[in-house]
Amino acid sequence: MKILVTGGAGFIGSHLVDKLIDHGDQVVVIDNLSTGRKENLNPKATFYGFDICSPDIVGIFQKEKPEIVFHLAAQISVRFSVEDPANDAKTNIIGSINVLENAKKYGIKKFIFASTGGVMYGDADIIPTPETYVARPLCPYGICKLSVEHYLDYYEKVFGLRYAALRFGNVYGPRQNEKGEAGVVAIFCGKMIAGLECLINGDGKQTRDYVYVKDIVAAAIAAMSDAVAGVYNIGTGKETDVNAIFAKLKKITGSRIEKIHGPVKKGEHRRGCLNSAKAAKDFGWWPKYDLDAGLKETAGWFVAKL
């Protein structure tokens, strides 16, 4: 099929593009390379260096006529969203509406959205947290993702645009940017290999649901099925605190670096862990990578790269 991936030069997007091309699909990528990297681009993909907010993306839809859209392009920094919520909303809401309008206009068969499970539920009383739990994100980034989910519901009900919104846990793996607003796994890998101190916000006992990028890609591809519709958590169902991630990576890399603790960051919740039973039931997805195996593979990539 002809498939469009926004953010296809980014961390998750580039892995998805590779797998789609391996499957024999024709892939079109839209990415402004603000966080994506040219070296991530699959040479077999057709690349357009556009911002999703640009009105000119209409020409891409018109020319390429994709059948399915994976919408991964986003402003990805929780901290930036707290500091500048207006610009966060410009990309993550207005940009998403721009992509949706073109999807509607050109008759896209399925729209698959990279939402967030990591910050969607705030500090939930139920752990692991199911999709039925009320969404109460504590940061503008999460609020924007939830808003787009509501727009997706609107576009389906009013215009018949089928969609799946995948609420990803805390994704980690090769190609994640260790210097930007990355996940803690990438940051720690980069710091340890470079012999630099690792800063932990707060006491390090805050938990997250760490899910390996290859498992995320498998879920995204499964969501192409006509039977998959609506909102799904994509996580491991296991919570791990930051101190444990530090200890595991220190052992894997052989680092002698000690951790240091800084102040708690605004907009960060205390606990996070996703119940993904709905995805398992509806389309047979369950993570194949345990945390230790994923961390070992990720650290190995960073060692080879750095």
Q: Which residues are catalytic?
A: 141
Q: Which residues contact 159 (CB under 8 A, 6 or more apart)?
A: 104
- Most distant CA pair in the chain, distance: 57
> DSSP state, 97?
H
194: how many CB neighbours lie within 10 A of its CB? 12
Beta strands in 93-234, from DSSP E residues, in sequence order: 110-116, 163-168, 170-172, 198-201, 207-208, 210-212, 230-234
> DSSP state, 40?
G
The helix or strand, by DSSP H or E, that contains position 151, with its residue range, turns out to be: helix 140-159
Q: Are 294 and 235 in contact (CB under 8 A)?
A: no
Collapsed DSSP state (helix, strand, coil) of residue 196: coil
Query: What is d(CA 118, CA 171) in angstroms, rounded to the nearest whole number?
Result: 9
Query: Look-up: residue for tokens 């909303």?
Result: 89
Amino acid at 56: D
Beta strands in 52-179, from DSSP E residues, in sequence order: 68-71, 110-116, 163-168, 170-172
The helix or strand, by DSSP H or E, that contains position 27, with its residue range, turns out to be: strand 26-30
Q: Are 144 and 120 in contact (CB under 8 A)?
A: no
Query: What is d(CA 83, CA 125) in angstroms, rounded to the nearest whole number?
Result: 27
